[in-house]
Chains A and B, each alone.
Chain A
């Protein structure tokens, strides 16, 4: 069955970086893009960026531009999201989610995120 399994909870100090992994199984990894979504306490879901797992092309939200890097390792069917220069406002739950490449054209996707990881909790505190 399809699964996206994320790495475990992290605690970081302000200014540090964190790298979260998202391991896919049960489907062909390179047929789906992986997106990353953040949910801070009491806030709405917030799109951070995405990677085309077939060619490695990335796109990021302007809000996180310069601080977020999304990569993938096709041999491991795993996507990664690294967030740097952490601040207390980055304390949140981070999700990876997939969407079928062929359902997307340019910046639009006909379908939504049909499978999500379980979420990775990040706490940023000194």
Chain B
């Protein structure tokens, strides 16, 4: 199975900050990488798929980049509603696997 890691595991930031989260895969997943946002008590919400494709309805302050084994999620200007946990997930091969999550907290 492909193992996914994320860094940092948590971060504190202020509204308006630029935030970057890194996701690494134990082997190449090409560009088959998704990002989700999860808030307490709700299901994950798809932000980006195939590394950099913005899901419908997601604000353009979210962006993604990378290929192979290293990927990043960037929030260009953090908004109050962005405080949440973010997960990466490889959709390259079954079993699909998720990263451990990065919790974005208010500074």
Q: A44-B87, A44-B100, A117-B43 are in contact. Are A110 and B95 (CB under 8 A)?
A: no
Across the interface, do B95 and A109 meet the contact criterion of CB distance under 8 Å? no
* A54-B28 Cα distance, complex, nearest whole Å: 30
Q: Which residue, of B44, B45, B92, has the highest number of chain A Cβ atoms within 10 A?
A: B44
Least Cβ–Cβ distance between A50 and chain B, in angstroms: 8
Across the interface, do A108 and B32 meet the contact criterion of CB distance under 8 Å? yes
**A46 interface residue per 8 A CB criterion:** yes
Contact of A107 among B36, B50, B55, B94 (CB under 8 A): B94
| Total residues of chain A contacting the partner, CB 8 A | 25
Binary interface encoding of chain B residues 31-70 relative to chain A, with 1 for a CB under 8 A from any of its CBs, else 0: 0101010000011111011100101000000000000000
* A50-B50 Cα distance, complex, nearest whole Å: 20
Across the interface, do A112 and B89 meet the contact criterion of CB distance under 8 Å? yes
Across the interface, do A118 and B97 meet the contact criterion of CB distance under 8 Å? no
* A111-B43 Cα distance, complex, nearest whole Å: 17
- Indicate the size class of the contact surface on chain B: 20 to 34
* A107-B30 Cα distance, complex, nearest whole Å: 13
Least Cβ–Cβ distance between A99 and chain B, in angstroms: 8
Across the interface, do A46 and B98 meet the contact criterion of CB distance under 8 Å? yes
Q: Which residues of A contact B45 (CB under 8 A)?
A: 116
Q: Which residue, of B50, B53, B96, has the highest number of chain A Cβ atoms within 10 A?
A: B96
* A118-B41 Cα distance, complex, nearest whole Å: 9
Least Cβ–Cβ distance between B11 and chain A, in angstroms: 17
Contact of A108 among B36, B53, B92 (CB under 8 A): B92
Q: A44-B99, A44-B100, A116-B44 are in contact. Are A111 and B49 (CB under 8 A)?
A: yes
**A113 interface residue per 8 A CB criterion:** yes
**Chain A, 13-66, CB within 8 A of any chain B CB:** 35, 44-47, 50, 59, 61-63
Question: What 7 A-B pairs come out closest when comparing CB atoms?
Answer: A112-B34, A116-B43, A45-B98, A112-B49, A107-B94, A61-B95, A109-B91
Interface residues of A (CB under 8 A from B): 35, 44-47, 50, 59, 61-63, 95, 97, 99, 107-114, 116-119
